[in-house]
Amino acid sequence: MEFPFDINQLFSERVSVLDQTLVGGRKSAGRPDLQAHIATVIDELGRASAKAQHLPAPITSASKMQSQRHQLYLLKDGESNGGRGVVVGFLKVGYKKLFLLDLQGVHIEVEPLCVLDFYIAENLQRHGYGMELFDFMLQHKNLEPVLMAYDRPSPKFLSFLAKHYCLTQSVPQVNNFVVFEGFFFNRSAAQ
Ligand code: ACO
Q: What is the pLDDT of residues 93-110, one digit of tens each?
A: 999 999 999 999 999 999
Q: Which residues contact 54 (CB under 8 A, 6 or more apart)?
A: none
Atom nearest to 150 CA in ligand 1: 51
Give the confidence band of 189 by pLDDT, cuts at 50, 70, 90: very low
Q: Quick: pLDDT tens for 64-92.
A: 999 999 999 999 999 999 999 999 999 99
- In this prediction, residue 48 carries a pLDDT of 98
Q: Quick: pLDDT tens for 130-187.
A: 999 999 999 999 999 999 999 999 999 999 999 999 999 999 999 999 999 999 986 6
For residues 162-191, one letter each, b for 16 or more C-beta atoms within 10 angstroms of the residue's C-beta and e for the rest, the string is eeebebeebbeeeeebbbbebbbeeeeeee
Query: What percent of the chain lies above the pLDDT cut of 90?
Result: 91
- In this model, does residue 191 exceed pLDDT 70? no
- In this prediction, residue 26 carries a pLDDT of 73
Provide the phi-psi class of 152: left if phi over 0, else alpha when psi is between -120 and 50, else beta: left
Query: For strand 71-77 and strand 15-18, is the pairing parallel, antiparallel, or unpaired?
Result: antiparallel
- In this prediction, residue 136 carries a pLDDT of 98
| Domain boundaries along the sequence of the chain | 7-190
Cβ–ligand 1 distance for 55 under 6 Å, the answer: no
User: How far apart are the C-alpha atoms of 131 and 144, rounded to whole Å?
Assistant: 14
Atom nearest to 49 CA in ligand 1: 42
Most ligand 1 atoms within 8 A of CB, residue of 137, 159, 178 to mutate: 159
User: How far apart are the C-alpha atoms of 64 and 151, rounded to whole Å?
Assistant: 16
Cβ–ligand 1 distance for 151 under 6 Å, the answer: yes
ipTM metric? 0.99
Tally of CB atoms within 10 A around 150: 22
As a CATH number, domain 7-190 is 3.40.630.30
3-class secondary structure, 15: strand
Is the Cβ–Cβ distance between 15 and 74 less than 8 Å?
yes
Is the Cβ–Cβ distance between 130 and 118 less than 8 Å?
yes
Cβ–ligand 1 distance for 46 under 6 Å, the answer: no
How far from 25 is each of 13, 32, 104, CA to CA, in Å?
8, 13, 46
- In this prediction, residue 188 carries a pLDDT of 56
Closest CA to 98 of 39, 7, 184, 29: 184
